[in-house]
Amino acid sequence: MEINERTTVVGGTCASLADAFYFDRPELRSAGFFTALRRYCREYRYNALVNFRLSQYAMARRNELYNRLTDGAALSMARLFLAHPLRTLRMLAYSRIWDRCASQNIRRYLTNISALTEIGPGFSGMFLGVSMSAGVKVGKNANLSDYVVLASHGTRAPVIGDNVQIWSSAVIVGGVAVGDNAVIAANALVVTDVPANSTVMGNPAKVVFRRKAPQTA
């Protein structure tokens, strides 16, 4: 597997356990689980992305169980266990999966993508050293290179449009909106909105090129 190979994934939030393994290659469902498992063991990009999706799934299930058990009340784990032992153990298992998958990506790939990140279909990239904060939203067909940082500032987080390319070591901070078809150059620091169909570079990033909007049928 060459270092410049790209892996494409499909889907936003992981809605089921199967989606964690088949989001990028739906046709592999017919090939069986062991085919996906071999990919998970052999391909680091697939491994990292499955870990991310599993953390999303486990977090959602854990929170769903917790809200159902507590019904809005602040209860300790001990009281929950006494009242609902099996459901509490299940909730703790989901918490462990969530933590384990996120920790593995940090340890192996220096990649820290919050389970509260929303990623649209067609997401692709190198997936080494990538960091995304909670609340970040990424549109369709985004392509990220290595060591890209999408960081929130306070309660505001970047919103990335469709078909956006973000090159190595670029940093986008705060409530920045990046328009469709934009290109963020390597090492750029983006702290203001980026117009659609434009290329930005520099620190702080400025528009250096504008393209015509793609023709639609």
pLDDT (tens digit per residue) in 82-108: 877 888 888 889 889 999 999 999 999
pLDDT at 1: 23
Tell the residue number behind the tokens 């070591």, with chain if given: 169
Amino acid letter for position 14: C
Low-confidence ranges of the chain (pLDDT < 70): 1-13, 23-28, 72-74, 214-217
Buried-state track 122-133, b at ≥16 Cβ within 10 A, e below 16: bbbbbbbbbbbb
| Torsion, CA 143, CA 157, CA 99, CA 125, rounded to 10 | 10
pLDDT (tens digit per residue) in 105-129: 999 999 999 988 888 777 887 778 9
pLDDT at 14: 73
Check residue 203 and report its DSSP letter: T
pLDDT at 122: 76
Q: Are 52 and 60 in contact (CB under 8 A)?
A: no
Give helix then strand counts, H and E, for the chain: 5, 16
CA angle 14, 105, 111 (to 5 degrees): 95
Query: Which fold is adopted by the domain 118-210?
Result: UDP N-Acetylglucosamine Acyltransferase; domain 1 (2.160.10)
Q: What is the pTM of this model?
A: 0.78
Closest CA to 102 of 10, 38, 110: 110
pLDDT at 61: 86
Q: Taking the domains of the chain in order of start, what are their residue ranges? A: 13-109, 118-210
| Rounded-to-integer distance, Cα 8 and Cα 190, Å | 25
pLDDT at 82: 80
| Rounded-to-integer distance, Cα 12 and Cα 200, Å | 26
